[in-house]
A and B are shown apart, each in its own frame.
Chain A
Amino acid sequence: MYLKRLDVLVTEKLGQHRKWNLPSRVFSDAEYVYPGFDIRVRRLVEKLDRLGYRNTGADIATPGDYALTQEHLDVYLHDFEYPQENFKGFPVRFELLRNVIERIEDITTHTTIELVRLEPEVIAPIFDERMEDRTIITLQDVPPKLLEAIILIEDERFFRHHGVDPIGILRAAAANLVAMRIVQGGSTLTQQLVKNYFLSPRKSFLRKANEALMALVIELRFSKAEILQAYLNEIYLGQRGASSVSGVSEAAKFYFAKNVGQLSVAESALLAGMIKSPNAYSPFLHLERARERRDVVLARMKEEELLDDKEYAVAIAEPIITPKHVVRVVTAPYFIDFVKQELAAFYPQEVLESEGLRIFTTLDMTAQRAAEDVITSELLRMETDLAYLLPKNHPEGIQGCLLALQPSTGFIRAMVGGREYAKSQFNRCIQANRQPGSTFKPFVYLTALDPERSRKAFTASSLLDDVSFTMESGGEEWSPKNYDEEEHGKVTLRTALEKSYNIATARLALDVGLEEIVTTARDAGITSPLTPVPAVALGAFEVSPLEMAVAYTIFPNGGVRAEPIAVRQVVTKEGQLLEREEIRMKRRFDPEPIFLTTHLLKGVIDRGTGQSVRARGFDGPAAGKTGTTSNYRDAWFVGFTPELLTLTWVGYDDNAEMKASGATAAIPLWTAFMKDVAPESDRDFPSPRHVVLIKVDPATGGLSDSSCPNFIVEAFLEGTEPDYSCESVSLGTRPASQELF
């Protein structure tokens, strides 16, 4: 009866088509490399290390090798199965001049090539509770020398016994008796398969008995080839952090950054030798011991005439070259959660843990790594350097979010939803609903500058009254105040936005139309509840950081909104394409008012509340807006170049006050990140056809002339530029008395 039960168990599990739960793998975006690419800025060598390429120091001979000198970087590209292409790796040379690629050459054909695609990185596998990382192979995929080495070292009578090897057992029993404990195993490959697949690793006589019985059953039910294939896919071969490296294919990638079919004789011998104790013989941890073990295996192979003299000599002389053992793995946990959420409708957790799907995303690993570093270091710095601004003895640390989007495509390039994922999985970029404060103001000004949207026509030179007023709103009196608690009299529309004056903005909003502003926000992509009340102009509603970031993409994208994308393709382990997400974009705004607003937002950084961006060393065309909510509960900065938009948010989860503004708290994160990932962007925002650029006096908005030689270059819709000089503008010196609406 017991034997019958074992028979059913073995046959059911090993006989099924899917024997193992295969983790799905989430991949980053691929990276294109081309002349002009700065390998230092983009950290290309670090990326190669993360991709498991091996630094050979000299010649590159096999896929996965690379060698770097001052003049060139040679890389033998890996094979890779892209969703639409099976790429076969070949050796390339990147000729360098001061870390910048000058030319790319196919080393095999000596021809110039214009760009190279570097395969995506695995961000994270999605495991079941067993946390086993494996890539399934067939016997045909395995090099003969690897098979021979494994059988020789682990079970040289594999083809002769029937699951249990009595001689091996007797030998082990004798050794155990002498030692009075379990010190040796006489296990066959079949028994090892049983132990790994069905049973716990705990050593006991009962477990050994079960193991033997099940091994016999397996040998009755399955062929030697099937058993061997299952073994090669199952065998434990080390740890990669919390997950185990299971099977020879995964081990080949982990230790040698190769497909199993590409292993050399020496590498095959080492893998076979590691089975006995993978961590003890790990070339990452104990290189000399690994070499000695490998040499023992090679010697046995020569002894059994599995290697001739020449093969032996070559193998024994081969150095063990492994890819860099990457201790710190970029896992982007908040982004992974977001991806799972996006896929949840069709691909629930149990499918992701078992079907071995390949999920290709938009994440830029270099940017992601930079974002994670910035969140960690800058928030820690805030807690020390700005401790006087933060609440004393607050139980929780200050939190943050950093989101980077590529406006032209909608691709999410980096996402860090908090400080320590292990402590809190709450994704502040997606799940937090916070008041945007002054970061909403650009949508007010955009409405004002768009004659198709605003009730009244405005230009950047229009004068606004930054003079206090009171009005009834929602049955209560509402009287907006500026952050400096001062009034500034007549100011230009530009100045009001650059300095983020609440009073002037509120007056502008009332003239422009609150319903119109809400329409603008909706068209930009803000879907959170918005009520057309005066306070909406100052961002007194709640929104997620992702929503704000997406809404802002209309500015660098000329009024065309690209829908945010995280997942590009989903592919089965067999290579069948299940999902494909294309870029989607739609024009929401005319390009001219968008450009006018962007031009104002450049001033925020150059002269306004965002000046510390420049002081902190970020050069090059950029625009943005700070945001600080009332009582300093939220600090925001949304800033962008034509190519990258980044949003940073800082605050406490419990809404505690922190007395730090967007400029103080959020800009340092933004600037540190952008200096790292986009330091040399010099492309400016393109000017649309019906816009003119005119020199005007910054104080009055009138045309600049000899009486007001200080000027800024201001943008206007054709035909709306001022026709009066700065002299003719009266700003007054006394604020008007408080008005009542």
Chain B
Amino acid sequence: MMSVVVCVGLFAACLKEPQSHHKKIPPRTHKAPKPEVIVPSTPSDENAKGPKRQASERLVEKGVVALSHDDVATAAEHFQSAMNIDSSNGVAYFYMAKVKVAGGNPDEALGFIDRAEQLVGHDSYWQERIDELRTEITGEEPTKDGRPFIDRTY
């Protein structure tokens, strides 16, 4: 009789611990680990002092001078060459947007403004200038969360 009780008891105990192919699934109420957030470097930090950036900046300077003399074609060439040398030079895109506006193509400026914002928007000085230019073109003020106006019309 005793052995039967033991066997039944053992059998019951086995039932309580079913074999499983799955990993144990703890309830979701278990406290999750704090995620380890990695902060990426801002784009311009990496390239700001490099020779490509310096060469690109010299061309931007030349372009700014040309633009100030209303020589839009020459200015465009300089800014495009600046982007060609250093595609992360957000200031070149900003001024290319100004070229588009000066050339009577404000719609085409928005793509350059967006790109400029991606690259130098972390700098408050440039973000302000980008916002001003965008407002000038679209007539829209920047949205509350700081996200730019997205023109989805094609």
Closest to B78 in A: A84
Known: A32-B84, A686-B42. A115 touches B55 (CB 8 A): yes
Of the candidate stretches A91-99, A227-235, A252-260, A726-734, the one touching chain B is A726-734
Known: A36-B50, A580-B73. A586 touches B88 (CB 8 A): no
CB pair B32 A692 closer than 8 Å:
no
With beta carbons under 8 angstroms apart, the residue of A114, A523, A683, A731 that contacts B55 is A114
Tell me, yes or no, whether B58 is within 8 Å of chain A by CB: yes
Give residues 57-116 of B contacting A (CB, 8 Å). Answer: 58-59, 73-74, 76-77, 80-81, 83-85, 87-88, 96, 99-100, 108, 110-112, 114-115
Residue numbers in B under 8 Å from A586 (CB-CB):
108, 110-111, 151, 154
Residue numbers in B under 8 Å from A690 (CB-CB):
147
Question: Separation in Å of the A303 CB from the closest CB of chain B?
Answer: 53
Closest to A84 in B: B74
Question: Separation in Å of the B97 CB from the closest CB of chain A?
Answer: 10
Known: A84-B73, A643-B87. A730 touches B36 (CB 8 A): no
Tell me, yes or no, whether B142 is within 8 Å of chain A by CB: no
Of the candidate stretches A61-69, A190-198, A401-409, the one touching chain B is A401-409
Residue numbers in A under 8 Å from B76 (CB-CB):
582
Residue numbers in B under 8 Å from A557 (CB-CB):
115
CB pair B28 A406 closer than 8 Å:
no
Question: Separation in Å of the A365 CB from the closest CB of chain B?
Answer: 14
Tell me, yes or no, whether A511 is within 8 Å of chain B by CB: no
Question: Separation in Å of the A717 CB from the closest CB of chain B?
Answer: 12
Known: A584-B111, A585-B112, A728-B30. A409 touches B84 (CB 8 A): yes
Residue numbers in A under 8 Å from B55 (CB-CB):
32, 34-36, 114-115
Question: Separation in Å of the A530 CB from the closest CB of chain B?
Answer: 16
CB pair B30 A695 closer than 8 Å:
no
Residue numbers in A under 8 Å from B24 (CB-CB):
727
Total B residues in contact with A, Cβ cutoff 8 Å = 56
Residue numbers in A under 8 Å from B147 (CB-CB):
690
CB pair B150 A36 closer than 8 Å:
no
Closest to B27 in A: A728
CB pair B47 A733 closer than 8 Å:
no
Tell me, yes or no, whether B18 is within 8 Å of chain A by CB: no
Tell me, yes or no, whether A411 is within 8 Å of chain B by CB: yes
B9-52 vs A, Cβ < 8 Å mask (1 yes, 0 no): 00000000000011111101010110111111011001100111
Question: Separation in Å of the A118 CB from the closest CB of chain B?
Answer: 12
Closest to A713 in B: B38
Question: Separation in Å of the A550 CB from the closest CB of chain B?
Answer: 14
Residue numbers in A under 8 Å from B119 (CB-CB):
686
Known: A36-B51, A686-B42. A705 touches B33 (CB 8 A): yes
CA distance A733 to B58 in the complex (A): 60
CB pair B36 A585 closer than 8 Å:
no
CB pair B108 A728 closer than 8 Å:
no
Question: Separation in Å of the A593 CB from the closest CB of chain B?
Answer: 12
A-B pairs with beta carbons under 8 A, tally:
149
CB pair A587 B151 closer than 8 Å:
yes
CA distance A694 to B40 in the complex (A): 11
Residue numbers in A under 8 Å from B154 (CB-CB):
523, 586
A433-449 vs B, Cβ < 8 Å mask (1 yes, 0 no): 00000000000000000
Closest to B122 in A: A689
Closest to B55 in A: A34
CA distance A695 to B28 in the complex (A): 19
CA distance A733 to B20 in the complex (A): 10
CB pair B35 A721 closer than 8 Å:
yes
CB pair A728 B84 closer than 8 Å:
no
B117-149 vs A, Cβ < 8 Å mask (1 yes, 0 no): 011011000000000000000000000001100
A160-195 vs B, Cβ < 8 Å mask (1 yes, 0 no): 000000000000000000000000000000000000
B residues with CB within 8 A of A: 21-26, 28, 30, 32-33, 35-40, 42-43, 46-47, 50-52, 54-55, 58-59, 73-74, 76-77, 80-81, 83-85, 87-88, 96, 99-100, 108, 110-112, 114-115, 118-119, 121-122, 146-147, 150-151, 154
A residues with CB within 8 A of B: 29, 32, 34-37, 84-85, 114-115, 406-409, 411, 523, 557-562, 577, 580, 582-587, 590-591, 642-643, 683-684, 686-690, 692-695, 703-705, 713, 721-725, 727-734
Closest 5 CB pairs of A and B: A36-B51, A408-B87, A686-B43, A585-B111, A34-B55
User: Given A409-B80, A689-B121, A713-B38, 14 other A-B contacts at CB below 8 A?
Assistant: A36-B50, A36-B55, A37-B51, A406-B87, A583-B96, A585-B108, A585-B111, A586-B110, A642-B87, A690-B147, A693-B40, A724-B32, A725-B33, A729-B23
